[in-house]
Amino acid sequence: MDLTGRTIAITGASSGIGEATARACAAAGAAVALGARRADRIEALAARIEDEGGRAVALTTDVADERQARAFVEHAYEQLGGLDGLVNNAGVMLLGPVAGAPTDEWRRMIDVNLLGLLYCTHAALPVMLEAGRGDVVNVSSVAGRIAAAGSAVYNMTKWGVGAFSEALRQEVTKAGIRVTIIEPGAVSTELVDQNRPEIQDAIRSRFGDMRPLEADDIARAVVYALSQPSHVSVNEILVRPSDQTR
Ligand code: NDP
């Protein structure tokens, strides 16, 4: 899986799947731009990638802010000397029943999972269209295919990622831009920690003693899609832990 010479921007690179994807892309030879709000995390990751002989720039970004999302893509392009891949990975998962839910949690999910992805994609498309090539990789979820009680708004956002990605693919595929949806099952990351304590307990007891995936397991799927020859467009990859039933 060779990405030598490629320039790839990754949102949500400060932890979990985004961090693992950045390291995997850099190890495969790509120069990477790291976007997230926690500057200390992405700066440390960029330093680590550079120490290992790779090329990385840290760009502190809140993708929910359209200006910051646009600046992330523009600075990635300028500082990497091009942009031929965008991995829209930043996301939040705030679960719980619809009745009585704190509606600010809904806004956060819609702002990050949907609008953040849209802003970054919108900013990257002109560059990719002009180059006549590019990859947009959107991290959705099993929750983008199977809805469940307690996950309604998260389901809605990830369903949206899937619908948007397929429509976008039809718009840009003949212009040389490939669109890929990655749909992880349960992965051991910080994602659950953002939930209210009682919800965290409910999520953990739902998965019981299931062995979750590691972030690296998903990073390999992203690099697999990115490293295909140009005539091959991997549109969708669903990866679950072997003992995850739904
Ligand atoms: P983490 O919580 O470890 O990572 C989430 C990342 O998103 C962090 O880097 C965080 O950075 C970033 N992020 C959140 N809000 C913003 C924002 N406003 N602007 C910029 N970056 C932001 O979780 P995962 O690695 O698990 O999640 C990555 C993706 O994978 C998400 O889209 C998630 O929905 C998806 N996914 C995860 C699964 C799992 O089981 N873990 C299963 C299926 C899908 P920071 O806080 O520094 O801004």
Q: What are the pLDDT digits (tens) for 54-99?
A: 999 999 999 999 999 999 999 999 999 999 999 999 999 999 999 9
pLDDT at 206: 87
Residue 154 annotated to the active site: yes
List pocket residues of ligand 1, CB cut-off 6 Å.
11-18, 36-38, 41, 61-64, 89-93, 112, 116, 139, 141, 184, 186-187, 189-191
> Which of the four pLDDT bands, split at 50, 70 and 90, describes residue 100?
very high
pLDDT tens column, 20-55: 999 999 999 999 999 999 999 999 999 999 999 999
pLDDT at 76: 98
pLDDT greater than 90 at residue 125: yes
pLDDT at 4: 98
In the set 77, 119, 154, 224, the catalytic residue is: 154
pLDDT at 207: 86
> Which of the four pLDDT bands, split at 50, 70 and 90, describes residue 120?
very high
pLDDT greater than 90 at residue 188: yes
**Ligand 1 geometric centre to CA of 34 (Å):** 13
Q: Could you tell me which of 104, 71, 91, 72 has the C-alpha nearest to residue 144? A: 91
Rounded average pLDDT over 220-239: 98
pLDDT at 220: 98
Q: Which atom of ligand 1 is nearest to the CA of 188?
A: 41
pLDDT at 149: 96
- CA gyration radius, the chain: 17
pLDDT greater than 90 at residue 208: no
**Ligand 1 geometric centre to CA of 231 (Å):** 30
Distance, in Å, from the CA atom of 160 to the CA atom of 162, rounded to the nearest integer, reads 5
Beta carbons within 10 angstroms of residue 9's beta carbon: 30
pLDDT greater than 90 at residue 130: yes
Residue nearest to atom 10 of ligand 1 (CA): 12
Strand, coil or helix: what is 237?
A: strand
Distance, in Å, from the CA atom of 233 to the CA atom of 189, rounded to the nearest integer, reads 28
**Ligand 1 geometric centre to CA of 183 (Å):** 13
Burial profile 18-27: b = 16 or more Cβ within 10 angstroms, e = fewer: bbbbbbbbbb
Cβ contact 225:28 at 8 Å: no
Rounded average pLDDT over 179-190: 98
Mean pLDDT of the residues in the chain: 98
11, 15, 19: which to mutate for ligand 1, most atoms within 8 A of CB? 15
Q: Partners of 187 in the beta sheet?
A: 213
> Which of the four pLDDT bands, split at 50, 70 and 90, describes residue 135?
very high
Share of the chain above pLDDT 70, in %: 100
Rounded average pLDDT over 146-170: 98
